[in-house]
Chain A
Amino acid sequence: MSDDAPPDPAAVADDSEALYEDAPSGALVTLADGTIVRVNRTLLRWLGRPPEDVLCRPFRELLAPGDRIYYETHYAPLLLMQHEVSGVAVTLVCADGSGVPCMISSMLRPAEQDRPAAILTTLFEATDRRTYEQELLRARKGARAAEERAHALARSLQQSLLPPALPDVPGLDVAAAYHPVGQGLDVGGDFYDVFEMATGTWALLVGDVSGKGAAAAGVTAAARYAARGAAVRSTMPSDVLRAVNRALLRDGSDHYCTMCYVAVRAVDEGGVRLVLSSGGHPLPLRVRRDGGIEGVGSPGTALGLLDEVTLHDDEVILAPGDALIVYTDGVTDGRRGDAFFGEERLFGALDELRGAPVSVIATSLVDRVVGFQEGWPRDDVAVVALMPRP
């Protein structure tokens, strides 16, 4: 009977030499200064070199030049400090000049009585992994570039929706301040405009379109132009707002807007006579020189939602020293944790700013609201302030 005893697993398990030499990864042992003292067959095969070309040479010589710098400035110091480094990408340079992308890991075994410190290093061939990573890096760069382009576009779009400078209105000081939602990387919904309706008659409008982004921007533009167009035909603010409502409904967008329209009727030494209408918009505030602050006008329906809207025209007189503040809900809705900026803070700020020039009032108020939200407002903030010119 022939001897067919089954093969002995111990024969394989005990052959650690083979495991080292022919492992699916490269392996080498160096001294602490990187001098190669042992290298396995797999690595020699990758390099296309005989052992005598590799032994006693410094490990870094196996690496591409850029990687050598990286090795000396990052890898080696880390190894000396924490005794292990893993998963670093380098390229091995082969005898024929070609490169093999690898992931390397090393472990520093400290010196002992009978032997010096040694570094054990394994190298994994990582061509496919490297290709994948490079694709990812490329995609990441592309995504970043696209994002930057989008932000630039949003910024320029936002700028185009707001008047670059307010015109000089005879007899009135007018100032506006604005801060976009978040970091200004998207297009918000607040807008304002000051324009001459017909020679010598001026109007101010402040509005807030729901939502953000390109669609909201479109509605902003539509609302502004509808208002300007209607202002030529009609002197009553409520008529202008009704026209804006019709225009928005016609456009059929999902966005609605709130708007406050203020028409300047007369300016003389006694002050300024205004007529205003509000469509779903926070009522403007008259800050009296003698100390009071009150909302003026009457609430009305927001625009772009319903066919039938309720709108009123109210007359407001500003005596010399009085100011009219028209703002968007980004002011009162400003958030800090659970707290809102709210009416109390708004009135408080206006109290403190009483008597200041309109530019200071507008800018200060916006700064306070943005500051309250630690520089990151959750909605656009817009304030327009006007005062009879002294």
Chain B
Amino acid sequence: MADVLTRNNVTVAGRPDGQPMVFAHGFGCDQNMWRFVTPAFEGDYRIVLFDLVGLGGSDWSAYDPARYGSLAGYADDVLEISRALELTDIVFVGHSVSSMIGALAAVEEPERFARLVMVGPSPRYINDSDYAGGFSLTDIEGLLESLDSNYLGWSAATAPAIMGNSDRPELGTELTNSFCRTDPDIARHFARVTFRSDNRADLPEVRTPTLILQCSEDVIAPDPVGEYVHRAIDRSTLVRLRATGHCPNLSAPEETIAAIRSFL
């Protein structure tokens, strides 16, 4: 059991006897993405945060391209974490691609999940004949090149600590860019898996009540995609946020918190 919790860098906070809220970060960063959101729920819920294998503080050596060749591998990890912590009645909050990971987990073991919250979900990013995912294959190739060219994804050298950032004292000496740290090979593989995924067929199987938070002008998960997810999941509610961009959990935490609270 300890292995799973270490493997995924699981942190538990909040009320030990509270209903579990599991927060899953999306492509690009790690569980720190939720730092402005989770404090609002710590009083009432048991907060569980984790890193996807290959990102953040997870065990990168556990990254098996075969297991994580599809989102199902990550969904299995979520279920393993849930079993290890004996979580039931789970509120699963997934950002971006982790919305789909949550959906897959909830389809696999529906009795474990009470609610799903999807922040900026997309079941498929690449355009199809009658589906506008938002991206072409060339766009995704461009992303892979971007990943190759950028030091954020490179871990070999130790990043310098943020020094004297007086307006963010709470960051202290956290390593610069540590939230988006990963191994370049893992980054490439995960990018491929995420952006070439197609989970449209899984959505109708989701029976768990689902909240979809749709941002305005989110290029990663645009409006029509949010609509698609809403139509495909029977028991879903779509809430349009005023926040723009793809990370309302960071750019508009209060609005995000309020929307989730209303739903729960």
Contact = CB atoms under 8 A, between A and B. Distances in A.
A85 interface: yes
B32 interface: yes
Contact of B251 (A33, A64, A65): A33
Q: Is the interface of A mostly helix, strand, loop or mixed?
A: helix
Interface in B112-138: 135-136, 138
Of listed A67, A68, A82, A133, residue having the most chain B CB within 10 A: A82
B171 A82 contact: yes
B27 A81 contact: no
Contacts of B219: 60, 68-69, 72
Interface in B4-52: 26-29, 32-33, 35
A84 B171 CA distance: 12
What is the interface residue range for chain A against chain B? 20 to 34
A72 B244 contact: no
B140 interface: yes
A80 B151 CA distance: 18
B146 A80 contact: no
B35 A81 contact: yes
Contact of B29 (A66, A70, A78, A133): A78
Nearest to B251: A80
Interface in A56-78: 58, 60, 64-70, 72-78
A149 interface: no
Interface stretch (A20-28, A47-55, A87-95, A234-242): A87-95
Contacts of B171: 81-82
B227 interface: no
B155 interface: no
A69 B150 CA distance: 13
A83 B168 contact: yes
B141 A80 contact: no
B186 interface: no
B43 to A, nearest CB: 23
A203 B33 CA distance: 68
Contacts of A84: 162, 165
A89 B142 contact: no
B204 to A, nearest CB: 27
A77 B250 contact: yes
Contacts of A60: 219
A67 B152 CA distance: 13
Contacts of A83: 165, 167-168
12 contacts: A65-B139, A69-B195, A70-B143, A70-B146, A77-B28, A77-B180, A77-B247, A78-B152, A78-B177, A82-B174, A83-B165, A85-B152
